Amino acid sequence: MATNWGSLLQDEQQLEELARQAVDRALAEGVLLRTSQEPTSSDVVSYAPFTLFPSLVPSALLEQAYAVQMDFNMLVDAVSQNAAFLEQTLASTIKRDDFTARLFDIHKQVLKEGIAQFSPQTVFLGLNRSDYMFQCSADGSPVLKQIEINTISASFGGLASRTPAVHRHVLSVLSKTKEAAKILSNNPSKGLALGIAKAWELYGSANALVLLIAQEKERNIFDQRAIENELLARNIHVIRRRFEAISEKGSLDQDRRLFVDGQEVAVVYFRDGYMPCQYSLQNWEARLLLERSCAVKCPDIATQLAGTKKVQQELSRAGMLEMLLPGQPEAVARLRATFAGLYSLDMGEEGDQAIAEALAAPSRFVLKPQREGGGNNLYGEEMVQALKQLKDSEERASYILMEKIEPEPFENCLLRPGSPVQVVQCISELGIFGVYVRQGKTLVMNKHVGHLLRTKAIEHADGGVAAGVAVLDNPYPV
């Protein structure tokens, strides 16, 4: 699938002029990040990196990714409700991975206190993003394969809503108005806000707020503001607080309603708390307080655990999907069609065999720890060294092995502040945003709400936009 946008350009000079126009349009549309020099201030901002041209994506794969998103929503929700499955699946991991163990301890404590069954009216909210790449199959045709599902702080819904206008502009400058019209409208921030608004409404207190748990150094604030602004348009007020402020000023009343600075909180939306470095002792106490409250958590801790790599690997085992989604063979088939090869590294014969296969053919595998946020995976020689060290240690149980997806590269131009404008070989990753709301046992909302395409140069094995590797893009359906 070679893209031919480059053939529309006469020379280097035209490429640079087009890039200048694209950057100006991105700034005008609000495709913005704070700078790495001033991550706490919006006084100086820059454009978020993006591709000069939209990247070609087969329509059939885009449709497949959208069609399976509601199944993934149901699956994540089913896993989060199945305490026995979570305990069994994570048993080996929590022995060796301190971060997952601490999350699991909170999960157990909350279950013991009976908050998950706080009342039949308890509301659960999931805002997730399922990410895929296009595996180049033996006959050369691309196949949709899931990389991971993000169940906490799934980002870039706000900025993804603003990039279609930029690529339409670029194609219009090149007098390609018919092609410009093919770029899909996309507004994930509106759909994500719709889920938060539904959970807020079901909580049932008109004066209660939405609490957004924010990081101190948040470069991606405009992405979050897009969701906040959608909520404000519905007359739902959002307050931003760090974990530290919750431990100092958060409290529960006798009904376990959550108050922060004296204001009742209906929904807690986490844009922090997915990496070990984001927790001090004080922050762990704040997380427990939030979890014990009857506010709607997005996600609650069980849903965060449902997004771990270990759970992803267990779900690929024969019979697991059927057990979690009984009587839904079509959903199971759609889900399974997107699974890449996933292998346990638990102590024992199965784990030994997986390690032996990876050491024999390292280019076919990726080693993944239980981490979110991009930039954590090991490939090639790095993976080989890690596996040799881990081989005889129980610590290997904190990782999984995954088949390496090999998409067919294509040409595009990645625009980054301070970088030269040049055409490079790239690969893309497609994310679909999903929203669900459950009240008691009833799923009252289950939908897909938009997409995110990220593209990176082929020399970068791992990492997303926030990690400074991938850039924002739009799918051009073909």
Q: What share of the chain is helix, strand, coil (3-state, %, to 5)?
A: 40, 25, 35
Known catalytic residue: 119? Answer: no
Query: Per the domain annotation, does 364 fall within a domain?
Result: no
Report the range of poorest mean pLDDT among 110-114, 296-300, 394-398, 464-468.
Answer: 464-468
pLDDT per position as a tens digit, 156-174: 999 999 999 999 999 999 9
Instruction: Name residue 397's amino acid.
Output: A
CA 357 to chain centre: 29
CA 67/CA 62 separation, integer angstroms:
9
Per-residue confidence at 176, pLDDT binned at 50, 70, 90? Answer: very high
- Please tell me which residue in 30, 46, 128, 129 is annotated as part of the active site: 129
Say if 389 falls within a structural domain. Answer: no
Kind and range of the H or E run holding 246? helix 243-249
Catalytic annotation, pick one of 218, 228, 314, 372: 372
Is residue 107 situated within a structural domain? yes
Which among 269, 299, 337 is positioned nearest to 438, based on CA atoms? 299
Both tokens of residue 10?
A: 């006469």
From 148, 218, 228, 291, active-site residue: 148
Instruction: Express each pLDDT in 362-408 by its tens digit.
Output: 988 999 887 776 668 888 899 999 988 888 888 888 888 989 999 99
Extract the tokens encoding 90: 């994570």
Which member of 309, 396, 404, 438 is catalytic? 309
| Exposure class string for 158-168: b at 16+ Cβ within 10 A, else e | bbbbbbbbbbb
As a whole number of angstroms, the distance between CA 236 and CA 234 comes to 6
0.85 exceeded by the pTM?
yes
The CA-based dihedral angle spanning residues 58, 60, 66, 68, taken in that order and rounded to the nearest 10 degrees:
-130
Q: Residue 6 pLDDT more than 90?
A: no
Q: What angle do CA 120, 206, 198 make, to 5 degrees?
A: 55
In a domain, 369, yes or no: no
Query: Which residues in 2-18 are b (16+ Cβ under 10 Å) and which e?
Result: ebebeeebeeeeebeeb
Q: How many domains does the chain have?
A: 1
What is the CA angle 342-346-348, rounded to 5? Answer: 115
Residue 291 exposure: Cα atoms within 13 Å on the Cβ side:
26
Answer yes or no: 257 catalytic. no
Q: What is the pLDDT of residues 108-156, one digit of tens each?
A: 999 998 754 556 679 999 999 999 999 998 898 999 999 999 999 999 9
CB 264 within 8 A of CB 208: yes
Catalytic site includes residue 372 = yes
Q: What is the pLDDT of residue 369?
A: 84
- How many other CB atoms sit within 10 Å of the CB of residue 475? 25
Catalytic residue among 155, 161, 247, 446: 155
Structure confidence by residue, pLDDT tens digits, 182-230: 999 999 999 999 999 999 999 999 999 999 999 999 999 999 999 999 9
Asked, for residue 359, whether it belongs to a domain, the answer is no
Those residues with Cβ within 8 angstroms of residue 183's Cβ, 6 or more apart along the chain or in another chain: 54, 164, 167, 168, 171, 474, 476
CB atoms within 10 A of CB 75: 24
Question: How does residue 1 score in pLDDT terms, banded at 50, 70 and 90?
Answer: very low
Our answer to whether residue 395 is catalytic in this structure is no
Quote the pLDDT of residue 116: 47
Residue 73 lies in a domain: yes
Tokens 């990196």 map to which residue?
Answer: 49
Least confident of 75-89, 346-360, 419-433: 346-360
Q: Does residue 349 form part of some domain? A: no
Q: Is the pLDDT of residue 20 over 80?
A: yes
Instruction: Classify residue 254 as exposed, middle or buried by CB count within 10 Å of its CB (0-12, 13-18, 19+).
Output: exposed
Of the residues 219, 454, 456, 464, only one is catalytic, namely 454
Range of the domain at 115: 5-340+405-477
Catalytic annotation present for 155: yes
Q: What percent of the chain lies above the pLDDT cut of 70?
A: 95
- Give pLDDT, residue 71: 98
Provide the sign of the torsion angle of the four alpha carbons 209, 213, 216, 222, taken in this order.
negative
Helix (H) / strand (E) containing 243? helix 243-249
> With 0-12 CB in 10 A as exposed, 13-18 as middle and 19+ as buried, what is 277?
exposed
Q: Which of 162, 168, 368, 371 is catalytic?
A: 368
* Rounded CA separation 189/269 (Å): 14
d(CA 251, CA 262): 9
Which residue among 55, 150, 220, 344 is the active-site one? 150
Q: Annotated catalytic residue: which of 373, 375, 463, 468?
A: 373
Angle (CA) 281 284 288, round 5°: 140
CB-CB neighbours of 174 under 10 Å: 16
Kindly state whether residue 391 falls inside one of the protein's structural domains.
no
Query: For residues 220 and 24, what is the distance between their CA atoms, to the nearest angstrom?
Result: 19
